[in-house]
Amino acid sequence: MARRPLVMGNWKLNGSKAFTKELINGLKAELADVEGCDVAIAPPVMYLAEAEAALAGSKIALGSQNVDLKQSGAFTGDISATMLKDFGAKYIIIGHSERRAYHHESDEFIAQKFAVLKEQGLVPVLCIGESEAENEAGKTEEVCARQIDAVLNTLGAEAFLGAVIAYEPIWAIGTGKSATPAQAQAVHAFIRSHIAKKDAKVAEQVILQYGGSVNDANAAELFAMPDIDGALVGGASLKAPAFATIVKAAAKAKN
Ligand SMILES: O=C[C@H](O)COP(=O)(O)O
């Protein structure tokens, strides 16, 4: 079964109402004729309303950078999965290394978020990946396995049906130092084989994105790798031409 690539832009803490409209209009123009690749953007939740309106009539899907566990109640500052659905959001990033680091999110807590998203019919985009020190210590596979196992061992392999995993080595995020295609492919193959130990069919269909300094110049060689099914793009997703080039590279490589 051929996997349909997914390129998603994670805008992180960037933008404004005007920027949201302008960038989306740019993306709609750049991507009007592109087929064969799913595309999503995750603006800050503050701008979901502007994004939803600007995306009307386009095939670009809406996403979010985070979700909290509860659906309603006395949880000051939280944002629920049902609220995200209310704005038409579909792909929800969880476990990003910036949230693991700055908000002390644990593997177990992230697995709970994964469960909430599945219950609500949303698509989890589970970010995993090792630090530079872990990489140098040869612990990349161990770290990725532990982060995946938090979901696998509580929700089962079926939870990954229709889900997305983004392998983002922390040392490659925002540094301009992407993993090489061979490095990323090796980890992606490991991730797929790790899930296959529980369920080969689920492993075969799960979308494995690479993230970490993906740009318009290096995307094509990354997508040439058989287990790299798309990208989670930070900085380069803030410019319509660069992001569109990445999407077009995925569509070309995978079709
Ligand atoms: O979620 C996206 C990643 O953190 C990658 O960010 P970057 O493309 O700016 O390196």
Return the ligand 1 atom nearest residue 178 CA: 10
Share of the chain above pLDDT 70, in %: 100
What is residue 80's predicted lDDT score, i.e. its pLDDT?
98
pLDDT at 208 over 90: yes
Active site residue 221: no
What is residue 2's predicted lDDT score, i.e. its pLDDT?
85
What is residue 240's predicted lDDT score, i.e. its pLDDT?
98
Within 6 A (CB) of ligand 1 lie 10, 96, 168, 173-174, 211-214, 232-236
73 CA from centroid of ligand 1 (Å) = 33
Q: How confident is the model at residue 1 (pLDDT cuts 50, 70, 90)?
A: low
Q: How confident is the model at residue 247 (pLDDT cuts 50, 70, 90)?
A: very high
- What digits encode the pLDDT tens for the residues 162-205? 999 999 999 999 999 999 999 999 999 999 999 999 999 999 99
Minimal-distance CA residue to ligand 1 atom 7 = 234
- What digits encode the pLDDT tens for the residues 60-112? 999 999 999 999 999 999 999 999 999 999 999 999 999 999 999 999 999 99
- Mean pLDDT of all residues in 135-159: 98
**Secondary structure (DSSP) of the chain:** -PPPPEEEEE--S---HHHHHHHHHHHHHHHTT--S-EEEEE--GGGHHHHHHHHTTSSPEEEES---S-SSSS-TT---HHHHHHTTEEEEEE--HHHHHHS---HHHHHHHHHHHHHTT-EEEEEE---HHHHHTT-HHHHHHHHHHHHHHHH-GGGGTT-EEEE--GGGTTSS-PPPHHHHHHHHHHHHHHHHTT-HHHHHH-EEEEESS--TTTHHHHHTSTT--EEEESGGGGSHHHHHHHHHHHHHHH-
